[in-house]
Amino acid sequence: MTTEETILEILKYTIPALVVMLTCYSIVQRFLNTQLRQKQVEMLRENQEITVRLRLQAYERLALFVERSHPRNLIPRVYVQGMTVADLQQALFYNIKGEFEHNLSQQIYVTPGVWGLVRNVKEQEQNMINSIAQQLPPDAPAKDLHMRIVDYVVGTEGELPSEIALKAINEEARRILSFGALE
C-alpha cells in the first residue's frame, strides 16, 4: 500500500466521522441554547410576578400613608384632651414624619412622579399645619388648631395634594394590574 492509498483510506473513515461529530455538536448546541432560553423566560416570568407584587404593595403602603397623613384622619388619631396648640402641632409633625420615614423604602418601587407627589403631600400637610398654628398662641387649646385645620380643609377649593396623590397612585396601580411590570 502506498502513502496515497493510506491517506485515502484514513480520509475515508475520518471525513464521515467528522461530519457525524459536527452534526451532533450542532444538534446538542441548539438543544442547549433552547433550554437556556426557556429557563431565562421562566425566570423572567417569575421575577416579573414578584416585582409586580412588590410594586403593588408599595402603592398600597403609599396610599395608606397619604390617607393617614390627611388631617381628617390624622387629627383624631393624635388629639388628646388638654393639649395645647404647640403640643398638637408637634404631635402632628411627629406622626407625619414617622409615617413618611416608615415608607421611605417604597420609592424604589414606584415612579419618580408618584414619589414626588407623596413627598409633596408630606411637605404640604406640614406647611399647612405650620401656617395655621402660627396664627394661634402656642399655649391656646389644641381644639382651636383642630377647628382651624378642619375649616381650612373643608374650605379649600379644588383638590388637596393628598387627593391628587391618591389619584396618581391608583392610576399607576391600575396600570400595573393591567400590564404588569413591563413599562
Section 69-94 average pLDDT: 92
pTM attached to this predicted model = 0.73
C-alpha cell at 155: 374650605
Does residue 35 have a pLDDT over 80? yes
What pLDDT is attached to residue 180? 62
Mean of per-residue pLDDT scores for the chain: 90
What pLDDT is attached to residue 57? 93
Contacts of 89 (CB under 8 A, 6+ apart): 129, 130, 133, 145
Q: Are 126 and 96 in contact (CB under 8 A)?
A: yes
Does residue 8 have a pLDDT over 90? no
Rounded CA separation 106/61 (Å)? 8
What pLDDT is attached to residue 183? 47
What pLDDT is attached to residue 31? 92
Q: Are 161 and 116 in contact (CB under 8 A)?
A: no
Tens digit of each residue's pLDDT (9 = 90 or more) over 47-61: 778 888 889 999 999
C-alpha cell at 32: 442547549
Length of the chain: 183
